[in-house]
Every structure is written in C-alpha cells, then in structure tokens.
Amino acid sequence: MNGIDVRHADFRRIDLNLLVALDALLSERQVSRAAERLFIGQPAMSHALARLRELFGDELLVRTGRQMALTDLATHLAPRVRAWLTEGAALVLKEPPFEPAQAQGLVRMSIPDGLEALILPPLLARLRAESPGIRLRVQLIEVDRLLDALDADEVDIVVVGVPVPQRNWHERSTLLTATLQCVHSRLHPSLSGLNQGPLTLHKLAKLDHVVSSYRGEAVTVVDAAFAAEGLQRNVVAAVAGVGSTVRILRSAPLVSIQVVLDGVMALPDDLVVTPVKTREPLRMAVDMLWHRRHGQQGLHRHVRECIREIAAPLTDVAGGA
C-alpha cells in the first residue's frame, strides 16, 4: 500500500468529466477553443468553467488584455491533471482500429512561413479527399518555445528548419535535407555579370545580407559555416517571411542565403540563385517533432505520415534533397 486512504464515496460527489474540461481549458486558455476541442458548445464549456471555479475556489483563468492567463493554482494543476488523464486513458481506453475516412479530430501544428506554403496546401488537399473529418490549426511559435509548447500540449506537431535539441520524451523524423544557396538580384552591383561559379564565404562576407527568421535571428547553420572561416555575415535586415525577403532582394542590393525549393521560394526572373562554396556542404535539415503522448494515436500518426509522404519527393535547385 502507498499509505493513501482512497475514500471511494468521495468520488461520487465529483463529476470527473470536469477534469477533462479543465485540461482542455488550461491547454487552450480560451473557452471557445476548449469547447471545439471537446466537440461541445461554448455555453456548455463556460458552465464547466464556472463549476470548476467553484470546485477549486479559484478563477483558474483570468483575462489579461485580449488573452486569458492561468492563475498560480491553475499553473500548478495543469501538469497534474494531464498526468492523471494520460494514466487513466492508458488504463481503460483501447484505441479502435484507425480508419482515415471516418477519423474525426483536430491536429494543431507549427510550421515556419516558407515551409507552410510547401506542406500545407497538399496536406489539406489530401486530408479533404481521404479524411474530411480531420481539421488542422496552424500557428507560428518561436523556435525557443517549440519544445515547451509540445510539453504544454499547445501544439501536436512541429515542423522546424533549425536545430532543436529535443528532450527524451520527444520524437523526431527528418522530412528532407536541402542545400542553402545565395539568392540575389541579377543587377546586384557586386554580382551582376559574374560567371565564375559558386560564391565563396569570403566574397559573401563582404556583402550585405537579409535573413528570413521569425524570431529575428540568423540561421544557425549558416553562421556556423562563416565562423569556421573566421568570418561573419553583415546582416542588415531580419524579416519574418520568405515573401518579404523576395521583395527586398528585388529592390535593394542585398543577398540572402536560403533553401530554394519549388513551392517555398517562387523567384521572379530578376532574381537568380548562385551556389555557395564551403568546406562542407551547406545543408539544412527540416525535421518534424512531436510528443510521445501522441506517438501511437492513429489520428496523429496518420497526419504525420501524410506530411512525410508530401516531403519525401521534394528536391532543391541543387538537386540534393
């Protein structure tokens, strides 16, 4: 015995379904999204929140501007409630055979701007044809928060193009590996008319760069290559999206080191791609990560497999993916 006296009669006074609602509310931090997650109406979820507040004697969720934040008690309860539900589900629930055509559910994803344009359209088309009951919600989460978002169950699947040190309870699958190349205007004053082949890092270090980064920083693998040569890029602008990068390159004498994949970076005729010469191939892996809690769930396995199959045939301009 563990010394805990379980008074079974006490559970008769508690609606354990409220803990399911509590988990959804603390994960989503919004009544409407929590209701959507449990396939119930918003009034029913609001009623559940009122009962939970009475049960715990705490607001649990409080409004801060346009968003809802967890109280200290709710922050303390969140991992304990999730652990209790996970253990309970493993004890009593056996997932039926997965049938894509009959599948129902919401899968939340985080995909960088450029890769979203590559993956999302064919993924949605496939799901609408094969699994019309599966819904997607795509959000942009800063790289520094990705693992915490997985742990907090804010997101189910993460696609990322920068190195992320996964934790023991995360799973990873490499979707593709692509070559990084230099994109610039045909009329760039330092590069127009050049036919000497790949650009060296020493040459690139003398030019002004724009980077695409939704956390306002440079791509790690590129800076590591420059640092290995004792060099540093002169980054004059960091923008959130690939589309902005293209427009900037057309109007300013800048360069950008990018993954150029069909469907990600559609280049107009006045922009060109020039290979970069480095000691080691300048490559970037695009990975998919998820929490082990969803590892064996048919819904999530199906969506992950669809993403893998969409990414598998992709190639970059250098033909290396």
Nearest to 108 by CA among 155, 172, 39, 170: 155
Residues 4-25: pLDDT tens digits?
Answer: 455 655 556 667 788 889 999 9
Residues 219-238: pLDDT tens digits?
Answer: 568 888 999 999 999 999 98
The answer to whether residues 210 and 163 belong to one domain is no
User: Which residues are CB-neighbours of 179 under 8 A, at least 6 positions away?
Assistant: 259, 275, 281, 282, 283, 284, 316, 317, 318, 320, 321
Residues 157-209: pLDDT tens digits?
Answer: 999 888 788 888 889 999 988 888 999 998 898 887 656 678 999 999 999 99
Count the domains in the chain: 3
- Percent of the chain predicted with pLDDT > 70: 85
pLDDT at 311 over 50: yes
pLDDT, greater one: 82 or 95: 82
Mean pLDDT on 261-266: 62
What is the CA angle 149-294-176, rounded to 5? 75
CA 105, 305, 307, 163 torsion-angle sign: positive
The answer to whether residues 86 and 212 belong to one domain is no
Domain-ending residue, one of 68, 92, 116:
92
- Owner of token pair 């253990």: 87
Query: Domain of 276?
Result: 177-284
Identify the CATH number of the domain in which residue 47 sits: 1.10.10.10
